[in-house]
Each structure stands twice: as structure tokens, then as C-alpha cells.
């Protein structure tokens, strides 16, 4: 597998990042996951905009987006696959032990792995832990994902593929790696970004293409919603057939199915060249 590191392609088996890299020692990094079909990245410009936004939020030097673009193209060229997931990681780089960044500057790694289309529906759980809607990292796509790892492990234990968080005031927020939508009286709603959720790219496209409303929602809306669905780069639009012990038979329901169809139709036009 060829990856991009230090300005060029390298073999993933022998590529080296310092053990003092702040991405490793203190989780001082940001990332993007970008879907690529037949070597063509999806919505790359939006992902690069968010990468730059996350870098500013973390106080990292502005990433060289031309290099990131070149790196994505080179990695996709070197590793042909039908459906891939590019992973762009950008960290505070080599530095002293402790939380001060070193002089050497950031580390950029671009890698790709195989991906596969997800099932049309899945099971989710809610977790008792909260997303902080007012934290220093809120809304940034940082590599500090351990809380998501713990929540996802809980979901797996219960036969689910995603765990949903409320925020600190009990409002519905998002999943470990996805945004959440509910259908109420036939209308689609999703929590607003100030709930503390990530401004998901699939979420934004789904809002644009379906006219979904951004609505502040209590967590227990999941007990009564007619339909629930998730959005993310790797799931696209995915129905939910179980929330904790509540079954939603027939998922994806008609509104979700329409959102899935719209997404598939429109997304074909949004592949970056």
C-alpha cells in the first residue's frame, strides 16, 4: 500500500512518523475521511474546506490544500480499488513530551483503504455520555476520537452499528461518526450544528437535497419518530430499524427511502474530477 508522507508517496510498511508526534502523544491532530469511487474523490472541496476550518480551530498551521489534493490523487492512482476511503491526517507534528508543539511543523499523512456500500438499514443505541456543545473542540474533526471508540464498542456489544449522543442539555446531537435525522409528521428534521454535532458533509448535502429542517430536538424524539436515519461519508443515507429496544419495522421507511434515492441521484454529479 502506498501512502503519502513527507511530501511524497511511500510504502506504508516502511513509512515512519516520529513516536514523539503530537498526533500520537496528545491527540493533537485533525482528519478527514473522503469516499472515492473508481479513484474519484467525492466532495473533496468540501472536505478540504472543513480540514482548513479544523486546522484553524486547533491553531495548527494552515494546511497546504494543493498538496493535500495532489496527495489524494497520487494515493488513489497508486492504489486502485472500486470503492475507497481516503484518510487525511494532519497533526501538530514532532514535539517535546508535553502539550507544547515543537518547531518542526505539522505531519500530513494520506492513506486509503477499501470501503463497501453499507446495508440499507442498521441498529443504533443511545449512550449515557454527552457531547459537549460548548467545548474547545466542538465542531472540529479532531483525532481525539477515544470517546467515540468507547461508545461504538458499547454499540457493537448490543448488536448495533452506531451509538447516538445527546448534548449536555439533553438534546439529540449525533452519532460517533454520523449525523442523525428523524421524520416527524412526514417532515425530515436534524439537530442544528449548535447542538454540538459535526457539520457533516453528507448532512449538509441531505439538508440541501431533501429540504430537511434543522430543529432543536429532545433525545426522546427517538421514542416517537416515524423514521430515523443516519448520514455520513461511509454510510451515505442509511435507515435505522432499531433504536435501543424500539423496533422500527420496515426501515428504511418511505421518507428515508426517498432521501436515499435523492442522495444517490444527486451524488453522482458531485464527484470531484
**Residue 143 interacting with ligand PLP (CB under 6 A):** no
How far is Cα 62 from Cα 80, in angstroms, rounded to an integer? 29
Q: Would you say 93 or 200 has its CB closer to ligand PLP?
A: 200
Is residue 174 within 8 Å of residue 141, measured between CB atoms? no
In angstroms, what is the minimal distance from the CB of 135 to ligand PLP?
Answer: 13
Using CB under 6 A as the criterion, what x/- string covers residues 234-263 for binding ligand PLP? ------------------------------
Q: Which stretch binds ligand PLP (CB under 6 A): 17-25, 70-78, 119-127, 177-185?
A: 177-185
* C-alpha dihedral sign at 153, 159, 162, 167: negative
Q: Would you say 227 or 236 has its CB closer to ligand PLP?
A: 236
Q: Which stretch binds ligand PLP (CB under 6 A): 181-189, 226-234, 241-249, 260-268?
A: 226-234
Q: Which stretch binds ligand PLP (CB under 6 A): 21-29, 172-180, 182-190, 209-217?
A: 172-180
Q: Would you say 183 or 197 has its CB closer to ligand PLP?
A: 197
The correct pick among 174, 193, 225, 253 for binding ligand PLP (CB under 6 A) is: 174
Residue showing cell 449512550:
127
- Length of the chain in terms of residues written: 273
In angstroms, what is the minimal distance from the CB of 203 to ligand PLP?
Answer: 6
How far is Cα 40 from Cα 191, in angstroms, rounded to an integer? 30
In angstroms, what is the minimal distance from the CB of 33 to ligand PLP?
Answer: 5
Using CB under 6 A as the criterion, what x/- string covers residues 178-217 for binding ligand PLP? xx------------------x-xxxx--------------
In the complex, the residues that contact ligand PLP under the rule CB under 6 A are: 33, 174, 177-179, 198, 200-203, 231-233
Amino acid at each position: 500500500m502506498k501512502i503519502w508522507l513527507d511530501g511524497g508517496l511511500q510504502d506504508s510498511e516502511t513509512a515512519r512518523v516520529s513516536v514523539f508526534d503530537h498526533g500520537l502523544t496528545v491527540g493533537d491532530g485533525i482528519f478527514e475521511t473522503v469516499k472515492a469511487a473508481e479513484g474519484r474523490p467525492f466532495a473533496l472541496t468540501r472536505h478540504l474546506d472543513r480540514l482548513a476550518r479544523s486546522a484553524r480551530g486547533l491553531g495548527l498551521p494552515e494546511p497546504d490544500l494543493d498538496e493535500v489534493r495532489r496527495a489524494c490523487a497520487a494515493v488513489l492512482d497508486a492504489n486502485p480499488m472500486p470503492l475507497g476511503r481516503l484518510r487525511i491526517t494532519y497533526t501538530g507534528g514532532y514535539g517535546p513530551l508535553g502539550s507544547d508543539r515543537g518547531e518542526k511543523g505539522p505531519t500530513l499523512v494520506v492513506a486509503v483503504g477499501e470501503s463497501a456500500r453499507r446495508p440499507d438499514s442498521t441498529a443504533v443505541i443511545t449512550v449515557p455520555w454527552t457531547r459537549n456543545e460548548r467545548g474547545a473542540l466542538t465542531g472540529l474533526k479532531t483525532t481525539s476520537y477515544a470517546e467515540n471508540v468507547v461508545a461504538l464498542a458499547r454499540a457493537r456489544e448490543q448488536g448495533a452499528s452506531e451509538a447516538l449522543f445527546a448534548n449536555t442539555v439533553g438534546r439529540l446531537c449525533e452519532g460517533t461518526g454520523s449525523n442523525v435525522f428523524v421524520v416527524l409528521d412526514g417532515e425530515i428534521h436534524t439537530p442544528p450544528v449548535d447542538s454540538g454535532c459535526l457539520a457533516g458533509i453528507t448532512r449538509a448535502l441531505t439538508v440541501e437535497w431533501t429540504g430537511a429542517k434543522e430543529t432543536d430536538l429532545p433525545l426522546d424524539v427517538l421514542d416517537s419518530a416515524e423514521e430515523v436515519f443516519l448520514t455520513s461519508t461511509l454510510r451515505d443515507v442509511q435507515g435505522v430499524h432499531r433504536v435501543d429496544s424500539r423496533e422500527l419495522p420496515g426501515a428504511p421507511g418511505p421518507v428515508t427511502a426517498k432521501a436515499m434515492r435523492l442522495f444517490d441521484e444527486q451524488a453522482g454529479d458531485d464527484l470531484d474530477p
